[in-house]
Amino acid sequence: MAVSGASGWPTLPALPDPATRAVLDSGLLAELSYALGGPFHFLLPDAFDANLRTLRSALSDAGVAGFVYYAKKANKAAVWSERCAANGAGVDTASVGELRDALGHGVRGEHLVVTGPAKDGALLRLAVRQGALIAVDALDELDALIATVGPDPVRPARVVLRCLPPAQPHSRFGLHDTELEAALERCARAADAVRMEGFSFHLSGYAVQPRADLAGRLVERCLKARARGLVADRISIGGGLAVSYTDAVSWRGFLAGQHSGHYHAGKSFTAGDFYPYHSPAAGAGALRALLAARPEGHHRNLAALLQDAALTLLLEPGRALLDQAGATVFRIQGVKDRAGYQLLTVDGTSLSLSEQWFHSEYLPDPHLLSHDPDAPAGLHPASVGAATCLESDLISWRKIPFPRRPRIGDLLVYPNTAGYQMDSNESSFHDLPLPPKVVIDRTERPRPRWRLDRQRS
């Protein structure tokens, strides 16, 4: 941040990542951009494996039995299901398509959890047959599930009851106290049709303490449910482990320095519009902090409560498993001069960098890969527009201070985009093709090894 930050143009440098750096330096991206003829994403499965390992270490170091499900909505690529299958991890799915995809890439049925509201009959039937864990979100859903299993069950429906978080009473998800009571009663009555394995939640935001507090309450709920003869041996804390994209100093400097003059068309953002691009406790660090936190009303930490109750902790991280696991590559196809900055047009759209669609902006600085080594160096602020006819379709409203003058044919590489940016909003608007995903199985010398992802949409 020092140099260009001091010049008055806020920057947000991504945390250094050797694997991404190796790909940038390899020359591969220019070849792929030419070969694929449009924007593309690249994926780094080794990073996913490493993130899974660090989460598992956090659990084992705290002496807590746990199981990690990858929240599939964060990125559709097949390679993540393949990695889950290879590593014995689970997948969190919310549709027949996601469930089928995870199974088809080798994840075992009993390693799936099905979340999402008002799951339809086809999804419930498939989940029961595959032995997947089902996070029940409403009483009518529980009734439908019990009816699906029928009176002579071959196998029971495996169920956790999703709780409406008391601290987020306006959430549209989960059961409130009286509904939970009724659900427990119905589970007990359903006998062999239902195996009530515990409770779950998923909180908005990234704070650790509210998760510890609610987890503490679910531990108590499990103990009470067991007293009624139910299994209740696990709780799921959902997702929401924060990811740090940048360091603390850069993030603070960015927020303090940015104003509407730094954006195309004088657009303005407040700090609350942005994802928190730095968190003091992120990824496995956030999990460690959670396990070490003392839930409200308890004098021991969450890890100790889980151990004492012999409970398994289930997690459904999406973003945290995808940290540093991919990036997005656009080619500059037009450069306009505006007063004091340039307006670049790239070969893709903000539908392939989703943050724009949430009243926000993806802030980590893109890398400029110049094809012309003689491009003038210096400070060249530029905003980045999309190849569409929408006035508002910008990938970066921010005037990013590039270290060389961007030219047609240069590549812009947005770092660390695998979590939520790539495909949640993608469409073939304007009849533009969807950006393919390139899996880079090996980043080190002599050459990166790449292939196309096997996902079918």
- DSSP string covering 276-307, please? -S--SS-THHHHHHHHHS--TT-SS-HHHHHH
Burial class of residue 267, CB neighbours in 10 A (0-12, 13-18, 19+): middle
Q: Which of 213, 316, 347, 426 binds ligand PLP (CB under 6 A)?
A: 316
Q: Among candidates 119, 121, 122, which has minimal Cα distance to 134?
A: 119
- Interaction of residue 240 with ligand PLP, rule CB under 6 A: yes
Least Å distance, CB 204 to ligand PLP, is 9
Stretch 108-137: interaction string toward ligand PLP, x if CB under 6 A: -------x----------------------
3-class secondary-structure state, position 239: coil
Q: Which stretch binds ligand PLP (CB under 6 A): 67-75, 253-261, 325-333, 438-446?
A: 67-75
Start-to-end CA span in the chain (Å): 40
Is 295 a binding residue for ligand PLP by CB under 6 A? The answer is no
Is 82 a binder of ligand PLP (CB under 6 A)? no
Size of interface with ligand PLP, in residues (CB under 6 A): 15
We find the least distance from the C-beta atom of residue 420 to ligand PLP, in angstroms, to be 7
User: Please, what is the minimum distance in Å from the beta carbon of residue 248 to ligand PLP?
Assistant: 21
d(C-alpha 43, C-alpha 435), whole Å: 12
Smallest CA-to-CA distance from 329 within 417, 439, 455, 227 is with 417
45 counts as binding ligand PLP under rule CB under 6 A? no
The encoded tokens of residue 84 equal: 């889950």
Q: Which is nearer to ligand PLP, 29 or 241 (CB)?
A: 241
CB of 148 closer than 8 Å to CB of 128: yes
As measured in angstroms, the least distance from the Cβ of 94 to ligand PLP is: 7
Q: 79 CB contacts (<8 Å, ≥6 apart)?
A: 43, 45, 48, 437, 439, 453, 454, 455
Q: Among residues 38, 156, 238, 448, which is the contact residue for ligand PLP, using CB under 6 A?
A: 238
Q: Which stretch binds ligand PLP (CB under 6 A): 20-28, 235-243, 386-394, 398-406?
A: 235-243
Tokens of 113: 């959890």
The Cα-based distances of 94 to 82, 101, 132, 169, 318 in angstroms read: 18, 11, 12, 22, 13
Q: Should residue 159 be labelled a site residue for ligand PLP when binding is judged by CB under 6 A?
A: no
Nearest distance in Å: CB 131, ligand PLP = 19
Q: Which is nearer to ligand PLP, 163 or 306 (CB)?
A: 163
CB 234 to ligand PLP: min, Å = 15
Q: What distance in Å separates the CA atoms of residue 401 and residue 293, rounded to the nearest whole number?
A: 41
Q: Does 210 bind ligand PLP (CB under 6 A)?
A: no
Q: Quick one: 204 or 268, whose CB is closer to ligand PLP? A: 204
Q: Which residues contact 5 (CB under 8 A, 6 or more apart)?
A: 11, 250, 253, 254, 257
Report the distance separating Cα 278 and Cα 289, nearest Å: 16
- The reply to whether 73 sits near ligand PLP by the rule CB under 6 A is yes
Q: Does 348 bind ligand PLP (CB under 6 A)?
A: no
- Out of 10, 165, 210, 239, point to the residue binding ligand PLP (CB under 6 A): 239
By CB under 6 A, tell whether 423 contacts ligand PLP: no
List interacting residues with ligand PLP (CB under 6 A). 71, 73-74, 92, 115, 202, 238-241, 316-320
